[in-house]
Amino acid sequence: MTDSEHHFDPERMMDSLYWWGIPTFFRCPYETDPKNCDIGLVGVPHSTGNGTTERDQHMGPRAVRNMSALGRRVHMKFGFSPWEATRIADVGDVPFPEANDNEACIQRITDFITRLDEAGTHPVSMGGDHSITGGIVQALGRPGSTVTGGKPVALLHLDAHTDVYEHLDHWLGAKKSAAHWGSYLVHQGNVNAHKSVQIGMRGNTRTLDWLQPSYDLGYEVIDMERYREIGANKSMEIINKRLGDEPVYITFDLDCLDATVAPAVSNLEPGVNGFSIDEAVQLLQSVRGKNVIGGDVVCLMPTKDHPNNITSMVAYSIMFEIMCLVADNISNR
């Protein structure tokens, strides 16, 4: 067979080497006008929403850009190339001139994502701590949203923690914090908790009623103990039934993975096994065919990673899965 029949060319080979060239997410073109892409890959280098406990999460987007050329692949299970099915571009980072002011930063995120949404561009973001989801979904779940048709989103939330802290109105001074977003988005009407699922929560907690705020808000919760008891197939059945035909936003906290899989993550829960990478990917792929409109990956701590950057590579692998779900949804709708 000839090189052309193999779809091989020297430039493609060089582009797969993460240490060569100028880093963008998955070697995508850098695009400042969201009208020129269907999916915008967004860096959200924000870490003050975690209340100063694990601040280096703002370095996550750069670390993933540096490694993600390795992840520019076709999707084997879906049998398609997202790069050919849709227009995908790196639209840059949300600017944070008030980086130490969490509330100002959350508004910056909302403004940035609103600009993408108004152009009909679906955001897939790399954080950053988990407070970024609040800023993103404030934009996507607002009444005038383009990509959701003005509806609140249904969340598929994979995490070791619920992030619906309601006992105090701040976390170490941050009000729209990494611990609060799952609560205030429901109260604001941006998230329909009755169509949402939280999965992967685990470990010993500070209080015995730790899941009660999620139940009170209307979330379906599949903690790790329940997941192990009912199994993957039943969990995926619950997820798909719950999400229905709603616009789905996926938020993936890397700490839902076992600490041996993703060691460079803030707020690790090493006392109980988390998801294997295969289990997590299976859960994500199970919602293929749903109206997946966007997503994010959060809580990477590149300064604590192994020398081989394994957690950054895991992060881009999850980002790729979410991006492919969005691309598949766009191309089929």
| Per-residue model confidence as pLDDT tens digits over 210-265 | 899 999 999 999 999 999 999 999 999 999 999 999 999 999 999 999 999 999 99
Compute CA distances 100 → 97, 104, 123, 296, 321, whole Å.
9, 9, 24, 22, 31
pLDDT (0 to 100) of residue 52:
60
pLDDT at position 1 over 60: no
pLDDT at position 110 over 80: yes
DSSP H or E stretch at residue 292 = strand 291-298
14-43 confidence digits (pLDDT tens): 777 777 788 999 999 999 999 999 999 999
Q: Which candidate, 75, 143, 135, places its Cα nearest to that of 110?
A: 135
The gap from C-alpha 3 to its chain's centroid, in whole angstroms, comes to 37
pLDDT at position 78 over 50: yes
C-alpha to C-alpha distance for 107 and 138, rounded to whole angstroms: 9
C-alpha to C-alpha distance for 311 and 133, rounded to whole angstroms: 20
141-184 confidence digits (pLDDT tens): 999 999 999 999 999 999 999 999 887 787 777 889 888 999 99
pLDDT at position 65 over 50: yes
pLDDT, mean over the chain:
93
pLDDT at position 7 over 70: no
User: Strand 122-127 vs strand 39-44: parallel, antiparallel, or unpaired?
Assistant: parallel
pLDDT at position 198 over 50: yes
Domains of the chain in sequence order: 10-332 (3.40.800.10)
Q: Which candidate, 149, 241, 131, places its Cα nearest to that of 195?
A: 241
Is residue 205 very low, low, confident or very high in pLDDT (cuts 50, 70, 90)? confident
